[in-house]
Amino acid sequence: MSFLEIKNITKRFDKQTALSNVSANIEKGELVCILGPSGCGKTTLLRIIAGLENANSGKIIIDGKDCTSLPASERNFGIVFQSYALFPNMTVLQNILFGLQQKKSLSKADMLDKATEVLRLVDLTEHTNKYPRQLSGGQQQRTALARAIALSPSYLLLDEPLSALDAKVRARLRGEIRAIQRSLGITTIMVTHDQEEALTMSDRIIVMNNAVVEQVGTPRSIYDNPATPFVANFIGSMNFYKSGGEICAIRPEKLIPVERHEAYDIAAAVKALEFKGALTRIYAVLPEMDEIYVDIISDRADALGLHEGALLFLKAPAEYQIKYSAKAAV
């Protein structure tokens, strides 16, 4: 039995369908990302898991118990939003203590112990007495995380917790959140529209588009075997080209440039080269005018002497080709 079962959830707002028959299971101790473009229903699904929103149909089973109609106040979760939602007139410590006061059974001394412990866990011990405005965005979000875990919830819900932060802080916090989640072993569901964030942080990913689940799987399995052209395109980069009645797909790093006299699968004309540091991306055009791109080690690109207008010969290894029926829209 899974820790959390999302069963056939449908949610409509007026005529807008935000979730259409969404199902997924989440195991105890996992970090699962709900990934998809803006407006696909991620936040709505998270709010239904929290009990902050009611579904039109379907069930939410938590730890074997049907929680579908259970109000949020009776579900034992911690939550962090994109906006830090800290009280500006309270210090870091007071913000944490405020949350802990909900638990009436704790003595003052216990509360202080618990707050000290979670502040150490998120590495904010030296900022305990600062006000939110005296903290960086990353520190504010770590305070929000500390507040969410202080009550030892049985699961953690994170809605785009890193989106408001700049790239460097975001990358560091990914690792920090993951490390804290692992050390606590707390089941965590995180919403993100950032595929790299989902790939780097998750045990498994639920990929959504237009109110439906497109695929559920580990980052690796989704990257290697995207179930639909949407998933193939949304996660990483993907080339699509027509061959017979099918749509073929292959990742840009799986195409292998070869010398003219060697066996090749695809010939294309180089349109542009983009130096990206370790890798160079080659943009090229196939005879049928489909565009493809190829990522290769920059030194190899130099050795091939590629330039705009040059012919590029490529091997497309069969084991890396993915086929979709022509009906599946890209």
Ligand X SMILES: Nc1ncnc2c1ncn2[C@@H]1O[C@H](COP(=O)(O)OP(=O)(O)O)[C@@H](O)[C@H]1O
* Total residue count of the chain as it appears in this document: 330
Q: Which of these ranges, 39-47, 99-107, 124-132, 317-325, lies near Mg ion under the rule CB under 5 A?
A: 39-47
* Residue 40 binding target from Mg ion, ligand X, none, CB below 5 to 8 Å by type: ligand X
Nearest to ligand X of 119, 201 (CB atom)? 201
* Residue 95 binding target from ligand X, Mg ion, none, CB below 5 to 8 Å by type: none
Specify the pairing of strand 311-315 against strand 239-243. Answer: unpaired
CB count within 10 Å of CB 275 equals 11
**CB of residue 94 vs ligand X: minimum separation in angstroms?**
31
CB count within 10 Å of CB 269 equals 14
Q: Which of these ranges, 9-17, 35-43, 55-63, 305-313, lies near Mg ion under the rule CB under 5 A?
A: 35-43
Nearest to ligand X of 18, 231 (CB atom)? 18
User: Under the criterion CB under 5 A, does residue 195 sit at the interface with Mg ion?
Assistant: no
Nearest to ligand X of 43, 139 (CB atom)? 43
Residues that bind ligand X (CB under 6 A): 13, 16, 18, 36, 38-44
Which residue do the tokens 């920090």 mark? Answer: 176
* Sequence letter at residue 140: Q
- Measured between alpha carbons, how far is 149 from 152 in angstroms, rounded to an integer? 5
Nearest to Mg ion of 40, 232 (CB atom)? 40
Of 99, 64, 57, the residue nearest 79 (C-alpha): 99
* 212 and 302 Cβ atoms separated by less than 8 Å: no
**CB of residue 290 vs ligand X: minimum separation in angstroms?**
31
User: Under the criterion CB under 5 A, does residue 209 sit at the interface with Mg ion?
Assistant: no
* 128 and 92 Cβ atoms separated by less than 8 Å: yes
* Residue 18 binding target from ligand X, Mg ion, none, CB below 5 to 8 Å by type: ligand X
User: Under the criterion CB under 5 A, does residue 44 sit at the interface with Mg ion?
Assistant: no
Nearest to ligand X of 42, 281 (CB atom)? 42
* CA distance to 73, 81, 92, 100, per residue, from 303 (Å): 63, 49, 56, 62
* Residue 13 binding target from ligand X, Mg ion, none, CB below 5 to 8 Å by type: ligand X
| DSSP β-bridge partners for residue 288 | none
Strand order through the sheet with 212-217: 77-80, 155-159, 187-192, 31-35, 204-209, 212-217
* 163 and 138 Cβ atoms separated by less than 8 Å: no
Nearest to ligand X of 42, 204 (CB atom)? 42
**CB of residue 96 vs ligand X: minimum separation in angstroms?**
27
Spatial CB neighbours of 101, under 8 Å, sequence gap ≥ 6 = 111
**CB of residue 212 vs Mg ion: minimum separation in angstroms?**
16
- Measured between alpha carbons, how far is 295 from 40 in angstroms, rounded to an integer? 30
Task: Report the residue from 4, 32, 43, 322 that binds Mg ion according to the rule CB under 5 A.
Answer: 43
* Residue 38 binding target from Mg ion, ligand X, none, CB below 5 to 8 Å by type: ligand X
Nearest to ligand X of 44, 139 (CB atom)? 44
| Chain contacts with Mg ion (rule: CB under 5 A) | 43
